[in-house]
């Protein structure tokens, strides 16, 4: 496949960000003309971006329409397994390689995010930035690339686990523990703390899905 043209790359990034921030949610139909108008670009780069997103399984076909894909239970479980393994490794490497400046940024992120606990949407955005900072602090470009793919698929989840009652406060405490281990250069502790953090998030999401199905039933 030839590399995407600059215009289509911009359109791709804008559509992906719109999915990631919940402007377009799983099941929503994406229409070329509407996207071109929203983002102020021509339909050609929009079309190329949609084709790229479909190839990456972020969009699926519903008849002749393209819709934002959704993850079933098994896909979600598989994604969390991979996420736990990769993020645990990122935390271990961050404890080994992070610069003092990177650790300071992580600590400041945790402190700043305490003010967002009552706003799940804002906290979820900041949560992604926090995890991305850990990925970068691993100083392993290949690991960062793989985690970018994981987080791209995470955007296909309709809700954030941070919306669950009390989850924001718990997640903040977990983030604090992760950073403390990285600060202490405790590689095993950092890996275990981040793996545990992902496991708790998965359990929370499973409970959210069970409650949703019960309501619909």
SS3 at position 68: strand
Residue 31 contacts by C-beta under 8 Å, 6 or more apart in sequence? 65
- Could you count the other beta carbons within 10 Å of the beta carbon of residue 35? 21
Cα-based distances in Å from 133 to 20, 33, 106: 17, 36, 7
pTM of the model: 0.82
Phi/psi-derived region of residue 3, left when phi > 0, alpha when psi is between -120 and 50, beta in every other case: beta
HEC string of 2-27 equals CCCCHHHHHHHHHHHHHHHCCCCCCC
- Return the bridge partners of 159, or none: none
Separation of alpha carbons 215 and 141, rounded Å: 43
Handedness of CA 166, 172, 175, 181 (dihedral sign): negative
Per-residue model confidence as pLDDT tens digits over 184-195: 999 999 999 999
Per-residue pLDDT of the chain (217 residues; tens, 9 = 90+): 444 444 556 899 899 888 887 789 889 999 999 999 999 999 999 999 999 999 988 999 988 889 999 888 899 999 999 999 999 999 999 999 999 999 999 999 999 999 999 888 888 889 999 999 999 999 999 999 999 989 888 888 866 777 777 888 999 999 999 999 999 999 999 999 999 999 999 998 888 888 777 776 6
């Amino acid at each position: 496949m030839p590399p995407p043209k600059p215009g289509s790359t911009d359109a791709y990034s804008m559509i992906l960000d719109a999915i990631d921030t919940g402007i377009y949610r799983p099941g929503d139909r994406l229409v070329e003309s509407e996207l071109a108008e929203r983002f102020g670009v021509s339909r050609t780069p929009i079309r190329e971006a949609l084709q790229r997103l479909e190839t990456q399984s972020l969009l699926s076909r519903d008849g002749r329409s393209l819709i934002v894909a959704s993850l079933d239970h098994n896909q979600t479980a598989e994604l969390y397994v991979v996420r736990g393994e990769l993020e645990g490794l990122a935390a271990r490497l961050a404890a080994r390689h992070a610069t003092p400046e990177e650790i300071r940024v992580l600590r400041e992120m945790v402190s700043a995010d305490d003010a967002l606990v009552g706003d799940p949407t804002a906290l979820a955005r900041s949560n992604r930035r926090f995890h991305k900072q850990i990925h970068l602090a691993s100083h392993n470009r290949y690991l960062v690339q793989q985690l970018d793919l994981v987080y791209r698929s995470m955007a296909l989840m309709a809700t954030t686990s941070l919306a669950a009652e009390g989850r924001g406060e718990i997640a903040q405490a977990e983030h604090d523990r992760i950073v403390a281990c990285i600060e202490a250069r405790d590689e095993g502790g950092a890996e275990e703390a981040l793996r545990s953090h992902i496991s708790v998030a998965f359990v929370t999401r499973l409970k959210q899905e069970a409650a949703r199905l019960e309501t619909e039933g």
